[in-house]
Amino acid sequence: MPDESLLEPRDGKVREPSSAERRLRAATVLLENGRIDEAVSEARRAGELARETRDDAGLARAENLLGEIAWERGRWVEASRLFGAAREHAESAGDGALLLWVESNDAAVHADLGQGELARESLAAALTRLVFVDDHPEAIRILRNLGRVLGAVDQVAAADGLLARAMMIAKRLADTSAGVALAIERARVALTQGDIVRADAHLGTATALAGRVESCTLRADSACLEGEFLRIAGRSDAAERSLLRAIELAEEAGSDAAAARAWRELGELHAGCARFADAVRALEAASLRFVALGARARASEAARRAGEIRVLASSSPPPGAVAAPEDRS
């Protein structure tokens, strides 16, 4: 979200904030107080005022904020469009710190949508601007975004390095919600590397911190991660309990993103237990949630996986079936 320090002039001169800046600050306060629809209205008005005064930086900040809100609401395609527009205006303004922020958002939403090439392009651009991150008011968000995308493109060592930097900042600021999200991401990176011990340690951190936050979405993601870890550890019954809890929390939060992740993981759990019909149903549920998010590539992946399991089920004997004796005549 926008921070007042980003709206201050870099030449040290004191000036009155523009009308667009005041609107954007108001939008940020409204958003922090959970008044989302009002925040959207203020941010849109800020963008209109910035456009009227040809303030490219102000317009980029307004579009970036609107993109973050859309992303959080599960409107991933709308978020992607807004981040793209914000990037163009930040480039016109020549503001490197603002570009880093926008490009990190752009890369992460493309990764969520399953648009790998676009995610890599924005990631590469953002990584050239990391010099701006240390004093950036959105450093945690930026580092988390970039760490997630690096993990998604299998640059796991670099991913964990950025996530660790973000975790240090979160600890210094006592930002518990950020701590949960970062511990989840670091555990996922460790699982990608096959490092079960480190994944378990990060999972423990995520679980402990999740108990102290109100966000059902974060708690759903933590429970989903626990389910994935337990599945890999071979503890199927416990994994299923965690994943069903994740789905329940995601439904409570109204988060299609968290629900999609949990249903997809539940599908893999059932497939591994040869519960093929249950696996297909779970993956189809995941696909529908990805469709709702506008993530067509992710939806197709889940649907394709369900199709593979149908084929596997048709070629597998039913439970308890006895193979016919070999004909030796």
Other Cβ atoms less than 10 A from the Cβ of 172: the count is 8
In this structure, CATH architecture of domain 111-214: Alpha Horseshoe (1.25)
Quote the CA–CA distance of 304 and 310 in Å, as a whole number.
10
Which tens digits make up the pLDDT trace of 125-166?
Answer: 999 999 999 889 999 999 999 999 999 888 999 999 999 999
Q: Give CATH superfamily name and number for 1-94.
A: Tetratricopeptide repeat domain (1.25.40.10)
Structure tokens at 33: 């107080």
Q: For the chain, give every domain's residue range.
A: 1-94, 111-214, 217-313
Which tens digits make up the pLDDT trace of 98-123?
Answer: 999 999 999 999 999 999 999 999 99
The answer to whether 319 and 273 have CB atoms below 8 angstroms apart is: no
Quote the CA–CA distance of 57 and 50 in Å, as a whole number.
8
The answer to whether 279 and 249 have CB atoms below 8 angstroms apart is: no
Decide whether 1-94 matches 111-214 in CATH topology: yes
Structure tokens at 225: 């991660």
**Contacts with 293 (C-beta within 8 Å, 6 or more apart), sequence order:** 74, 75, 76, 112, 113, 256, 257, 260
Lowest mean pLDDT among 81-85, 220-224, 303-307, 316-320: 316-320
Strand ranges, E, within 207-274:
none
The answer to whether 90 and 106 have CB atoms below 8 angstroms apart is: no
Report pTM: 0.85
The yes/no answer on whether domain 217-313 falls in CATH 1.25.40.10 is yes
**Contacts with 40 (C-beta within 8 Å, 6 or more apart), sequence order:** 27, 66, 69
Site of tokens 């199709």: 307
Say what the pLDDT of residue 8 is.
46
**Contacts with 324 (C-beta within 8 Å, 6 or more apart), sequence order:** none
For 262-268, what is the mean pLDDT? 98
Quote the CA–CA distance of 108 and 151 in Å, as a whole number.
11
Amino acid at 195: D
Q: Give the pLDDT band of residue 13 (cuts 50, 70, 90).
A: very low
